[in-house]
A and B are shown apart, each in its own frame.
Chain A
Amino acid sequence: MKAMLTAFVMIAVISVAADYGLDYAGFSAAERQSGDAVRLE
């Protein structure tokens, strides 16, 4: 039971980390799909 709950918590942790991590690494849709002339900030 403890292993199952730990796994479910880990799913949440990995998901949030993936969301922030990919965005931070420049993999947001805005970063990947915008042309050079587009200012994102």
Chain B
Amino acid sequence: MLRVLLSLVLMFTLFLPLTGLSTSGPAQAQETEAPDRSATGGAQTLEDILARQRGETVDNSFRANNVGDPDSAAGIANQLGTLGGASDPDLWRALRFGKANITASNDGPASTVLVQDSGMWWLEFRQGPLITYGGYLLLGMIGLLVVFFLIRGRIRIDGEKTGRTIERFKAFERFSHWLLAGSFLLLGITGLITLMGRKFLIPTFGHEAYSNLAVASKWVHNNVSWAFIVGLVFVFFLWVAHNIPNKTDLKWIAQGGGIFAKGKHPPAKKFNFGQKIIFWSVIVLGGSIAASGLSLLFPFELPMFAATFEKLNALGLPGLIGLDPLPTALAPHEEMQYAQLWHAIVSFVLMAIIIAHIYIGSIGMEGAYDAMGSGHVEEQWAKEHHSLWVEEVKAKEAEAPKGATPAE
């Protein structure tokens, strides 16, 4: 129950930026009364344009429904008959509001959507706030770790080393970890190349060099994603039982994990609370990234956001934080745009968390890397950071000879 509540809170928190975005445009603005349009013959007026520029919602039905009237058109032999009752502006309005009868030689739900409203909003957000704040998040995390390292230094093994080692992770556990880690690194790097190419790489290396890099990045990102998903599934089943929160975690939290003061070592089982946060972040955020990634990998075939928004609206979650209901009628392209933004936002958060994980698993803590390197850790390290787990292992070792069958 606690886990369900935790994941709900987490998912809701994660949805906040997206819901904010989706309503930061005209939908959030106040409604205005339709002005008198008799002077323009029913076409939009200066007041309509100004209202849109003020960010107010303008009821577009007067344009959406004004797409010509073929039924009352003049006969084909008469003057103007060849227009078929719809002028060029009528046709463009029909395209703009998705009411034109379009035949296309390509296939799929997006093939007949020639104009959609959210493209520019998405493009501007992607090139602006997404890159800016995402970049700040990653650089901020790196800066924070540098400051932490300068203040705290490397977390050393406090006690005297025993020279004995204890097996912490078996070969398949390490394989799964590196399958996930290696693929995530590749996905993170190629994702950043794809996202930030236009802003940073093209001005530096030129279009041609970036073009080759972008093509290679796309191939790697699309195909390595499967290794990430496989690694995610392996890691989940291998470690989920060890990562269920328990009361030991409260002591760990109370002592700040012992990372801020030398000689302080709160008890922990196989995984301490910090590692549990990493685990659940990887599972929940990684799962969400994988889901939105699949939606992007199979364009227009796995739309998720309209259905998700519908469920969130039904739960009344947007209203709880003072937002209007989320849009539930999305064009196929809008689904892809939301999937891309969600994919990138959640990836930035997970990358920031993983940067901290890489730090503490390498230069940040003496002896930590061995757990995933050789699989065997110094016994003193294990006693200091996972004392309860060491006791369990020792107890099992003590029991083993009793039940073991001697070799013939």
Q: Which residues of A contact B372 (CB under 8 A)?
A: 4
Structural contact, B174 and A4, CB atoms closer than 8 A: yes
Given A1-B374, A18-B226, A19-B223, A11-B182 contact (CB < 8 Å) = yes
B298 within 8 A of A: yes
Residue of A nearest to B110 (CB): A33
Structural contact, B105 and A3, CB atoms closer than 8 A: no
Given A2-B171, A3-B174, A8-B178, A35-B105 contact (CB < 8 Å) = yes
Structural contact, B106 and A10, CB atoms closer than 8 A: no
B387 within 8 A of A: no
CB distance from B189 to the nearest CB of A (A): 13
Structural contact, B105 and A11, CB atoms closer than 8 A: no
B301 within 8 A of A: yes
Q: Which residues of B contact A16 (CB under 8 A)?
A: 223
Residue of A nearest to B169 (CB): A3
Q: Which residues of A contact B108 (CB under 8 A)?
A: 32-33
Structural contact, A8 and B182, CB atoms closer than 8 A: yes
**Distance, CA A32 to CA B298, complexed state (A):** 9
Q: Which residues of A contact B186 (CB under 8 A)?
A: 11
Given A35-B107, A37-B105, A4-B226 contact (CB < 8 Å) = no
**Distance, CA A18 to CA B183, complexed state (A):** 14
Number of B residues whose C-beta is below 8 Å from A? 35
Chain B contact residues, majority secondary structure:
helix
Q: Which residues of A contact B107 (CB under 8 A)?
A: 32-36
B375 within 8 A of A: yes
Given A2-B171, A3-B175, A27-B298, A18-B223 contact (CB < 8 Å) = yes
**Distance, CA A39 to CA B96, complexed state (A):** 30
Which residues of A, 1-41, contact B by the 8 Å Cβ criterion? 1-4, 6-8, 10-11, 14-16, 18-19, 27, 29, 32-38
Q: Which residues of B contact A19 (CB under 8 A)?
A: 219, 222-223
CB distance from A25 to the nearest CB of B (A): 12
Given A33-B106, A35-B107, A15-B224 contact (CB < 8 Å) = yes
Q: Which residues of B contact A10 (CB under 8 A)?
A: 175, 179, 227
Structural contact, A3 and B375, CB atoms closer than 8 A: yes
Residue of A nearest to B224 (CB): A15
B6 within 8 A of A: no
CB distance from B370 to the nearest CB of A (A): 11
Residue of A nearest to B226 (CB): A18
Structural contact, A14 and B111, CB atoms closer than 8 A: no
Which residues of B, 9-28, contact A by the 8 Å Cβ criterion? none
Q: Which residues of A contact B111 (CB under 8 A)?
A: 33, 35
List 7 A-B pairs, Cβ < 8 Å. Answer: A1-B374, A7-B177, A10-B227, A11-B179, A11-B182, A15-B227, A37-B105
Give me the interface of B with A, judged by CB distance under 8 Å: 104-108, 111, 171-172, 174-179, 181-183, 186, 219-220, 222-227, 230-231, 298-299, 301, 372-375
